[in-house]
Amino acid sequence: MRPDYVDFHAHLDLYPDLEQAIATCDHKRVATLAVTTTPKAFERNIELSAKSDYVRAGLGLHPQLVADRYLEIDLFESLLARTRYIGEVGLDRGPAHYRSFDLQKEVFGRILRACAKQGNKILSIHSVRAAKPVLDMLDEHLPPDRGDVVLHWFSGSKADVRRAVDRGCYFSVNEGMLVSTTGSRVMREIPIDRVLTETDGPFLARGGKPLEPGDVGRAVEMIASFVELPVEAVRTKILSNLKRLLQNDKAEP
């Protein structure tokens, strides 16, 4: 059945009950990418989402965990053929993770090369204080005809946004991003036909409580305000963007 909303970056397995979180997305008819932070978490996510009409599991190795989990890159590569969806992966050059940055680049490079080799992957990418290095590595290791990229909670410069748009990237946007000065500036640079919504739940909160899975209605309203279009038109456009992304088949002929 056609979804009503899109949540293209949610950590469903970090809610108290993964099975219930998936059921919530199904009940709300929200097309959801359930990202994982380590390859070892992937098995349970893909098993429990297998019967869902709306939830798909992503294979991830979060850059903030690379310092401790980098050896799981071998497991990541062995699981890669089981899903089209990759996330959460990327780079984080924030103060808490700067020491592992070279190791993060090594792991991220392996992920991108493996995805390019298999082709037809959709990647949800983290890029905290690392927009340019992420884009540089995409240019080096993942040709646009070998995979699609969705930049999660992007905070790069105006030039970074333009560069990402030119290479065909999409952007997943949440309400926390849109209330920040940087996020507002980025949102003004993104073409509406490259926008998807996300919760980043349960990390993002409203009123002191984590957003529920699939709770993207407020983000849709905020985007509509930015682009000066009716809320329903923006909701429909985001669904159209997701459909175009999913139909952009880059498998081998």
Residue 251 is predicted with a pLDDT of 56
**Once rounded to an integer, what is the mean pLDDT over residues 111-129?**
98
**pLDDT reported for residue 29:** 98
Tell me the pLDDT of the chain averaged across its residues: 96
pLDDT in tens, 69-107: 999 999 999 999 999 999 999 999 999 999 999 999 999
pLDDT, tens digit, for every residue of 141-197? 999 999 999 999 999 999 999 999 999 999 999 999 999 999 999 999 999 999 999
What does pTM read for this prediction?
A: 0.97
Q: For the packed helices 181-189 and 158-166, what is the interaxial angle rounded to 10 degrees?
A: 40
| Strand 55-57 to 85-92 pairing | unpaired
Q: For position 250, what pLDDT does the model report?
A: 58
Residues 235-250: tens digit of each pLDDT = 999 999 999 999 987 5
pLDDT tens readout for residues 202-228: 999 999 999 999 999 999 999 999 999
Give the per-residue pLDDT at 249: 74
